[in-house]
Amino acid sequence: MHHASKLPHVGTTIFTVMSKLAQECGAINLSQGFPDFPIDEALTDLVEKAMRAGHNQYAPMPGVPALREAIVAKVQRSYGFAYDAEAEVTVTAGGTQAIFTALAAVVHPGDEVIIVDPAYDCYAPTVELFGGRPVHVRLGADMRFDAEAVKAAITPRTRMLMINTPHNPAGTILRDADMRRIAEMLRGTDILLLSDEVYEHLVFDGEPHASAIRYPDLRERAFVIFSFGKVFHATGWKMGYALAPRELMAGFRRVHQFNVFSANTPVQHALAEYLKEPANYASVPGFYEEKRDRFLVGLRASRFEPLACEGSYFQLADYSRISDEPDVEFARRLAREHGVAAIPISVFYKEPPPGQRILRFCFAKREETLDNAIEQLCAI
Ligand code: GLN
């Protein structure tokens, strides 16, 4: 029987590949991004409480009303704008599902979607799945947003621009000036924005998070995507949300109802309570900044050269002083021979810049894990 794949050039994601390799060779796993420490016990208690209270059946399709209300209040506190809980907020099974559903809702065959490489690995295949054409541009010098390159990629067929701040894998952030440039280049067009902000609150050195929500010109054309898994150290919960103006959200929900229908009920009840306390997320930047600094200081003592990390829980490091192997090979050897698994960032490009020798390390780990990894990395 012949069956033609809709994504013929897509293999297994690098996260699955590297985490498996780490397990096989007993390497410290700084590849796939997930914390190796427990979540807040108070949150565990809230989930238990919700289950015992009988919140175990389908949630309403767009999400438990109390959670949508709590999200609206939290977003208003953080970014100064109140979405309509009824019509403009949808709880999803993680950030990736929200991205998938947003693209499914608006991408028509032949539409162009601008993607800034290195880009999170689900963006381009999802665009293609719905007949869209990913148009790849690259981050500029020092892995910073290159507004000119993005502007030059806009055509009459551009349906959407996808941005990501803090950026995975780059670890850089978009600042106020970047957001203003984006608003300027989209003004007067019908181009939609997808702003992937799953690493909100993982922003360091006292910088504010320049959410698209803060900019009326952007917000009115945007799906803004968030993740509870990233902020509350629970990636396995696959719990996130999308915000968008009423009309865009109506289209999103038309797809969402046939995709997951609704997200996990007891976890939604727990998060509705937990989100009411701002201290629960206000502590996140400092918490991760300490981890970044610990890893960075260690890395500086090695032959790896760290790049600037302004946000996210990823640290990029150049290894050209150690080897001139391509990054996929070097990452494999690093795991097998030196006991540390990392992500080769060439996989996040349509065409990786020739000669780039950079790996991504996840520092969402206990101090002990980071120190052990540093010891290994310094021995190379
Ligand atoms: N977001 C995680 C990362 O970048 C991976 C999630 C996944 O494995 N799909 O490492």
Report the atom number in ligand 1 closest to the C-alpha of 16.
Answer: 8
pLDDT tens for each residue of 83-115: 999 999 999 999 999 999 999 999 999 999 999
* Angle between helix 327-338 and helix 14-25 axes, rounded to 10 deg: 20
32 lines ligand 1 (CB under 6 A): yes
Report the atom number in ligand 1 closest to the C-alpha of 230.
Answer: 1
29 lines ligand 1 (CB under 6 A): no
Assigned token pair, 167: 């950026």
Question: Three-class SS of residue 39?
Answer: coil
- Within a 13 Å sphere around the CA of 93, how many CA atoms are in the beta-carbon half? 14
> Measuring CA to CA, which residue among 42, 37, 121, 161 is closest to residue 343?
121
pLDDT tens for each residue of 178-229: 999 999 999 999 999 999 999 999 999 999 999 999 999 999 999 999 999 9
33 lines ligand 1 (CB under 6 A): yes
Q: Atom 7 of ligand 1 has which residue's CA nearest to it?
A: 15
Assigned token pair, 284: 């996140």
pLDDT of residue 101: 98
Expressed in angstroms and rounded, the spacing between residue 157 Cα and the centre of ligand 1 is 30
With 0-12 / 13-18 / 19 or more C-beta atoms within 10 angstroms meaning exposed / middle / buried, residue 288 is buried
Expressed in angstroms and rounded, the spacing between residue 217 Cα and the centre of ligand 1 is 30
With 0-12 / 13-18 / 19 or more C-beta atoms within 10 angstroms meaning exposed / middle / buried, residue 309 is buried
Expressed in angstroms and rounded, the spacing between residue 341 Cα and the centre of ligand 1 is 14
SS3 content of the chain, % helix, strand, coil (to 5): 45, 15, 40
Q: Would you say 161 and 191 are in contact if contact means Cβ atoms under 8 Å apart?
A: yes
pLDDT tens for each residue of 302-356: 999 999 999 999 999 999 999 999 999 999 999 999 999 999 999 999 999 999 9
pLDDT over threshold 90, residue 159: yes
Residue 379 main-chain phi, psi, to 5 deg: -85, -5
Residues 215-238: b if buried by 16+ CB within 10 A, e if exposed: bebbbebbbbbbbbbbbbbbbebb
End-to-end CA distance of the chain: 50
